[in-house]
Amino acid sequence: QKEVEQDPGPLSVPEGAIVSLNCTYSNSAFQYFMWYRQYSRKGPELLMYTYSSGNKEDGRFTAQVDKSSKYISLFIRDSQPSDSATYLCATNFGNEKLTFGTGTRLTIIP
Amino acid sequence: NAGVTQTPKFQVLKTGQSMTLQCAQDMNHEYMSWYRQDPGMGLRLIHYSVGAGITDQGEVPNGYNVSRSTTEDFPLRLLSAAPSQTSVYFCASSYSSADRERDGYTFGSGTRLTVV
């Protein structure tokens, strides 16, 4: 069993819809939780990070962590075609080594 | 400011050949790492380094070798290429401090390797 599980999709939604992306993790010692976005044939780039349980907002994006159920979510409001990408959740023990989910491929249909 | 530069972008190798994937960063990051990305497997850590002269193994180190003689460079060597090493390879760097979560890892654009 992988330490971080993520539904690979693909996921297709119409423009303007709310998107929900989810991950689960197995090790309660994980401390930081991140979402990376990866466009086709590019390297991943950091989208959001959070440390504690609860919600963190940044524009149209909300990251949610529930440490009691070991669940990580990313919500995208008013989705745009430019949001079409692969989204990877990631976590660490407070050190340099990141553990990534497999990524969810998202397509926003105009 | 170039960030993380990987070369080459594409490479085809024959089974048994060796080669070195280059990675250079100009951000004075202490931490550097190599990942491979395969469909359905996500990003898996191969080797990493927390500073010049210090390297350690990640999740899938077999068949790969690394060294870190300078802060800027972290080459990945394939000793004897096998078809199972066909993948997209990413180099990433970050600060070795609490700022790394805020700033994130900086990834290169990847090297697409095919072993035939």
Question: Both tokens of residue A64?
Answer: 């949610």
Mutate to test the interface with A, among B10, B31, B37 (most CBs of A within 10 A): B37
When pLDDT is cut at 50, 70 and 90, the band that residue A51 belongs to is confident
Mutate to test the interface with A, among B10, B89, B101, B106 (most CBs of A within 10 A): B101
Task: List C-alpha distances in Å: B67 to A7, A65, B78.
Answer: 35, 37, 12
The DSSP call for residue A68 is: T
Position A97 scores a pLDDT of 83
Tokens 């090493």 belong to B85
When pLDDT is cut at 50, 70 and 90, the band that residue A31 belongs to is confident
Integer Cα distance of B108 and B26 in angstroms: 12
Q: Are B35 and B74 within 8 A, CB to CB?
A: no
Q: What is the mean pLDDT of residues B29-58?
A: 94
Using the Cβ of B94 and the Cβ atoms of chain A, whether some distance falls under 8 Å is answered with: yes
Is A45's CB within 8 Å of B107's CB? Answer: yes
Is A46's CB within 8 Å of B43's CB? Answer: no
- The model's pLDDT over A61-97, given as tens digits with 9 standing for 90+, comes to 999 999 999 999 999 999 999 999 999 999 988 777 8
> For residue B73, what are the β-bridge partners?
B24
Using the Cβ of B96 and the Cβ atoms of chain A, whether some distance falls under 8 Å is answered with: yes
Task: Select, from the ranges A8-12, A14-18, B2-6, the one with the highest average predicted confidence (pLDDT).
Answer: A14-18
pLDDT at B19 over 90: yes
- The model's pLDDT over B65-98, given as tens digits with 9 standing for 90+, comes to 999 999 999 999 999 999 999 999 999 999 877 6
pLDDT at B17 over 80: yes
Is B101's CB within 8 Å of A32's CB? Answer: yes
Position B1 scores a pLDDT of 64
